Each structure stands twice: as structure tokens, then as C-alpha cells.
Amino acid sequence: MAEPTVTAALDLVVREAADVAHRLDGDAAERALDLLDRGHRVFVHGAGRSGLALRMTAMRLMHLGRDVHVVGEVTTPAIRSGDVLLVASGSGTTTGIVQAARTAHDVGASVVALSTTDDSPLSEVADVTLVLPAATKTDRSGTASAQYAGSLFEQAVALVGDALFHTLWARGGQTADDLWPRHANLE
């Protein structure tokens, strides 16, 4: 057996991510995009690496000039009617994520979920669920992905977040120069 290489691993990651992209439901993605576009404010929430991926999406939405908040930060205001909660949970059962989605729904906010399934407590409360056909973190069978734990799901969350941002940017007519002044300048 050949020695594993970084380029072979990268080929695997790219191939699996492309497969997820090709299997994404375009109609559901458009519904998610519409909710994000119409929302007064956008809140993002995820645990672990999924949460980190959503923080990247929050930053890009901020670059568009959107009012964006990361759930759990001390400066995050209360969500209210007309807002959107963008959440990620591979299993759709992560307690804190499901509870946040229920709270958002109860106050009249929209909920956009990224998950590996549309048959979960999270999907029951979400206005739209984008199903990312990837392994959950507890799936070690190698069937949905050869990568470790939920790696493919977390990568897909980041990629879908960038795709949502890019589509909103393209539709909004702002230039890269329009977005640039919103980058952090305290470094």
C-alpha cells in the first residue's frame, strides 16, 4: 500500500465536498437565501467546528453590511420577529441548537438549518433545512465520508455559507471596494 500524501488527502476532501455540492437541493438553498436576504438581522449558532464555520459566514455577511450576531457572545441582542437564525447541527439533535431554534421560532424569527437530515427535532422547527449529505460526527462507518468524524459536514457548512454570501453579494450589486472598508482595521 502506498504511503498517504497530503495531495491525495486534499483530492479526497475536494472530491467529497464537490459531491455534497452537487447533491444540494437548489430549491431549498434559494428559500434559505430568500430568508437570509429578507431578515432584519441574522444570528448564527453552531457548536464546535460547525459553529466556527458559521462564524466565517457571519463575518462575510457583516462585510455585506448586514447586522449579524453570533449566539453566545456577550454583545448579542435578543432575537425577535423578522430576524433570521442560521444554525448548523449535523445530527439535528444538538440540544442547545434545537432550543435556540425553538426560541427563535417562538418569537417569530425565521430559522434556516444546515444538517445531514431533514428528519430531526431541528428540521421540525426550521423554516428550511439545507440537507448536506455528509457523515455526522458519530458516524465512523466511512460510508458517507472517508474523512474523520464530521469533517465533511463542517467543510460543507463553510462552503455553503460562502456560497450564500457570494450569491447575496452578486445580487446586491456591491463591489469588492464597497465591502473592503468593513474589514477589521484594529490589527
Q: Which of 16, 73, 124, 154 is labelled catalytic?
A: 154
Distance CA 35, CA 123 (A): 16
16 in active site: no
Query: What burial letters (b/e) apply to 115-147, b meaning 16+ CB within 10 Å?
Result: bbbbebbbbebbbbbbbbbbbbbebeeeebbeb
Residue tagged 434556516 (cell numbers) = 112
Beta carbons of 184 and 63 less than 8 angstroms apart: no
Beta carbons of 63 and 115 less than 8 angstroms apart: no
List, by residue number, the catalytic residues: 154
